[in-house]
Amino acid sequence: MVHVKNMPKLILPSVIGHRGCAAYAPENTLVGIHAAADLGCTWIELDVKLTKDSVPVIFHDDTLERTTNGAGKVADITLAALKDLEAGSWFGESFSGEPVPTLEEALEVIIERDLGFNLELKPCPSREIETTEAALDILSHYWDEPEKLLLSSFQIQCLEACLDAAPEWARGLLLDEEFAENWQDIARHLQVSTVNIDGNAVTDEQLEYFLSYGKPVLSYTINDEERYDYLRARGVKSVFSDMPDLFL
């Protein structure tokens, strides 16, 4: 494994709009990116996965039901068929007709709004490597500010693929409540720049342990002022929030 020299110095904000800003606009949509920027966010987080025909799209779940008017698996739908669906009215009638964006479409808005970007690689099962490679390929055509880009994933395979294909872009290791005991070895192996934890489940002791790794700790998904104050006072660098205006 090559040791990556000269990793970018990430310019991380205190608050990152989660899935855009998921409390105020439908998650993972272009209108959500604009809403986050309008609120004053300087960074947003979005999730990416592949359609059946291998196009990276901005989408959280493996299935369509919760956030679109379609049904079935994202991995079983082509981009053309996905574009016939809409991803807004489940959230509110005023958002009706809002499409599922491709990564490319999202990047155009992110760049237009001059935002920092945390792309969470959230592959459908068994599509870890191809999702990562397709997303990196598109990013490579658009992104030229490495200090404003963080690639994160719960999937080690995705982060390994990032390390192989784009070592100079910062990686964030996402950990959930049941994080592996050897997470520090994994973080070292992946040469991550951040450790992204569940800030609602974390105990005092665990938080100290995460912070002791020496890399910025980021915390999802914080929509509560007391929790925000606690995490920030302990040294958490950034929180992901559906309601970023609470903390801006």
Q: List interacting residues with ligand G3P (CB under 6 A).
A: 18, 45, 47, 60, 120, 152, 174, 196, 220-221, 240
Shortest spacing between CB 197 and ligand G3P, in angstroms: 9
Q: How far is residue 50's CA from residue 135's CA, in Å, rounded to a whole number?
A: 9
**Nearest Cα to 43, choosing from 138, 127, 132, 150?**
150
SS3 32: helix
Q: Which residue is nearest to ligand G3P (CB)?
A: 220
- β-sheet bridge partners, residue 238: 218
Quick one: which H or E segment has residue 209?
A: helix 204-211
> Is residue 242 within the footprint of Mg ion (CB under 5 A)?
no
Report phi then psi at 184, rounded to 5: -65, -40
Count of residues touching Mg ion (by CB under 5 A): 2
**Nearest Cα to 75, choosing from 56, 95, 97, 88?**
56
Shortest spacing between CB 60 and Mg ion, in angstroms: 6
Q: Which is nearer to ligand G3P, 29 or 196 (CB)?
A: 196
Q: Which is nearer to ligand G3P, 107 or 197 (CB)?
A: 197
Q: Which is nearer to ligand G3P, 14 or 96 (CB)?
A: 14
Site for Mg ion in 101-160 (CB under 5 A): 120
Q: Which is nearer to Mg ion, 66 or 188 (CB)?
A: 66
- 34 catalytic? Reply is no
Quick one: which H or E segment has residue 219?
A: strand 217-220
Q: Which of 3, 34, 60, 141 is catalytic?
A: 60
> Two tokens at 126?
């068994």
- 18 catalytic? Reply is yes
Question: Would you please indicate which residues are annotated as catalytic (active-site) residues?
Answer: 18, 60
